[in-house]
Chains A and B, each alone.
Chain A
Amino acid sequence: MKKKTEVFRRNYLKKRCFGEFGGRYVPELLIQALDDLEACYLQAKTDSHFQRELKSVLQSYGGRPTPLLFAKNLSEELTELRESRKSSALRKQRKQPLKIYIKNEGILHTGAHKLNNVLGQALLCMRMGKRELVAETGAGQHGLAVASVAAKFKLAAKIFMGEEDYFRQYPNVYAMKNLGAKVIMVSDGTRRLKDAVNAAMKYWIENLKTTHYLLGSALGPFPYPLLVRDFQSVIGVEAKKQLKQAEGRLPDLLCACVGGGSNSLGFFTPFLSDAKVAMLGIEAGGKSMKLGEHASRMKEPKLGIVQGYKSYFIQNADGQVQPTHSISAGLDYPGIAPELAYLHQQGRVKFLSASDKEALEGFRKLSEKEGISPALECAHVIGKLPVIIQRYPEASFICVNISGRGDKDIFITAKHLDKDAWREFLKRELRSLR
């Protein structure tokens, strides 16, 4: 297994793709910039000075390592649920306790895993002698990390954000502006993450010499899928060590939410060669499985080439990318990391989707049971756990990656969980602004 992975890695570098997925399908004028970034990254990867510097800022600025928590109350509840589903004959046997662990990236500075990649790429940006960052953002967590790191490293930052996301994640817009970044609202197309990526990429094309495009997920043209995954792998590396320490063995199952795919790949990658560890990605099931009401690309995977990479996209028979919906802006995107498409094809990573409703349940559940309010993105995983433990009856040791904390979502969750009181609060706020 290990050897196979190695051969595959080498091929990836040579051909710039994971099996048939990935590549760099971009206008010629981006090739030089992508070549430069690739060369810079491959050099940095083996440069001990770079690695030391990255490790140091991840610690001192980011707050790594992030904790691993045994979710005792949640585990007990799910154990009971599993027992209650068993036939009476089976129930007589000894109860097998479920153990759910939480890798908590919400503790990371700026509140989500996004910072891991941003610190890595910001160092690359300076290594290339560039002083400006451009980025897209959906939930605003990537944008917030970019804005913060830009302030810290004295870089300029421009953040593109779809109109829809701009307003539903306004607390993050405010924070980004406050940090000195310029936030640009994108009103074209579906007014979401996809269109923010288009706008950021075009800004980059027009400003290649001075600007680094700091892509926030493991997608886009090569080398982005590779370097984003590598920078995020610190999650899995830490988790592996922590899990072994906690239970003396590796878990049976890893679960993570999948927007573009950066937190899931970062979490999964260090476990890929451990054949006994199953991996499950949770996509946004939205309101229903009707086109336009979800962001589950793996439901009926359709191969395409969009935004510079070959992968699965939510698109029609003509190859036009179609609108998506999710209660969480970070999962509301029609494409998926090419490496995840490959791992899915190989059967290594499986996928399920969780609905908006399940995500809200997950948000409430983790808050109530463990005192952790997760971002709506990863709340999808918690909300799906009752189904997951049914699908994986053999799994007794599960680790969930909590990719971020839920502060950014107060206006969304409150609308559903505390509507009347929230309205009164907003009325008062409005009055106080007069």
Chain B
Amino acid sequence: MKNKFDIKFSAAKAEGKKIQLMAHMLAGYPSVSVNKETAWAMEQAGADYLELQLPFSDPLADGPVIMRGNHHALKKNFSLEKGFRLIEDLASGQNMPIFVMSYYNLPFVFGLEKFMGILEQVGVSGVIIPDIPFDDESEEYIQRMSAFKLHAALVISPGTSSKRLKAIGKKASGFVYTTLRTGITGAKQTLSHEGLTQFKKIRRAFPKKLALAAGFGISRPEHVKALEGKVDIAVIGSKLILLTVERGPLAVGEFISSIVSSIVS
């Protein structure tokens, strides 16, 4: 299976890009219009991929910043219908391949096939659903996703055993996302030791070509720099959301630019 993500990812690899960036955004927070401006700023600044989170009432893996953003968006009547419209606008209005992040209840209640059919139609590259851990049901889920030409990116953590990593590596599609600590989302001053020392174990268990992304806690250019050569993609979440809300889309662009230039240098 090859979609927009695969094409962009292998091109960046061929160019010799040391690390790629995935920028996270929460749909409807603070508003749809700010979402669109922010996506534009992210792309201009050199972000490679967009992770778009759909708000949910009970986001189990999210820390206070993203959780409160979820609640804020829902309070302002952000609906799934608006979410699909935003995804469509973002997919046609810019070039970063999009991964939709959502908790399982949204596609489950809407109807998984119907949900994924819509995402495929508007040209989304994949989905990240953090509350489907790897087990019997997730295998079926990955297969069903691939019928829609969508990657089902699996999430792992520093505590995942080598045995599980091996099994996950065999089934993974697109990229595997590892968390940089055993915890919930949230910007941190420093990256944890357990997060930065997990990659050897992961690489040993995974097929060579499988793309690896890492996130949770990245808040400075040095953090991304520290991940160079260790992972293919750095994911930045809470920090960008804080910047968007406190200082606006342009500040998000500036922050991403500062990371991009630190990678080049």
Contacts and interface: CB of A to CB of B under 8 A. Distances in A.
Nearest to A302: B109
Contacts of B94: none
Contacts of A308: 60, 131
Contacts of B261: none
Contacts, number: 103
Interface in A9-59: 15, 23-32
Nearest to A317: B109
A31 B133 contact: yes
A217 interface: no
Nearest to A202: B184
A25 B132 contact: yes
A310 to B, nearest CB: 8
A29 B179 contact: yes
B155 A25 contact: no
B133 A25 contact: yes
A188 interface: yes
Interface string A290-325: 000000000000111111100000010111111000
B160 A318 contact: no
A322 to B, nearest CB: 8
A69 interface: no
Contacts of A24: 133, 135
B108 A304 contact: yes
Interface in B71-129: 71, 74, 79-80, 104-106, 108-110
Interface stretch (B12-20, B61-69, B222-230): B61-69
Interface of B is mostly: loop
Contacts of B68: 188
Contact of B109 (A194, A198, A319): A319
A410 interface: no
A184 B133 CA distance: 29
B183 interface: yes
B58 A198 contact: yes
Contacts of B158: 29
A32 B164 CA distance: 10
A304 B109 contact: yes
Given A189-B71, A318-B80, A320-B74, A28 B160 contact: yes
Interface residues of A, number: 34
Given A202-B63, A318-B110, A320-B57, A305 B71 contact: no
Contacts of A26: 60, 131, 133
B109 A32 contact: no
B157 A27 contact: yes
Contacts of B137: 23
Interface in B122-163: 130-137, 154-161
Contacts of B105: 304-306, 315, 319
A201 interface: yes
B61 A27 contact: yes
A23 B164 CA distance: 18
Contacts of B57: 189, 315, 320-322
B58 to A, nearest CB: 6
B136 to A, nearest CB: 8
Given A305-B108, A307-B58, A27 B133 contact: yes
Given A32-B161, A208-B159, A308-B131, A25 B61 contact: no
B140 to A, nearest CB: 13
A307 B60 contact: yes
A366 interface: no
Nearest to B157: A29
B109 A315 contact: yes
A179 interface: no
Contact of B110 (A31, A205, A319): A319
The 7 residue pairs across chains A and B that have the minimum distance between CB atoms: A319-B109, A29-B157, A321-B57, A319-B105, A318-B80, A27-B61, A206-B183
29 contacts: A23-B137, A25-B132, A27-B61, A27-B155, A28-B130, A28-B157, A29-B183, A31-B133, A32-B160, A188-B71, A194-B58, A198-B67, A201-B60, A202-B60, A205-B183, A206-B182, A302-B109, A303-B108, A304-B105, A305-B108, A306-B58, A308-B60, A318-B79, A319-B56, A319-B108, A319-B109, A319-B110, A320-B56, A322-B57
Interface of B: 56-58, 60-61, 63-64, 67-68, 71, 74, 79-80, 104-106, 108-110, 130-137, 154-161, 164, 179, 182-184
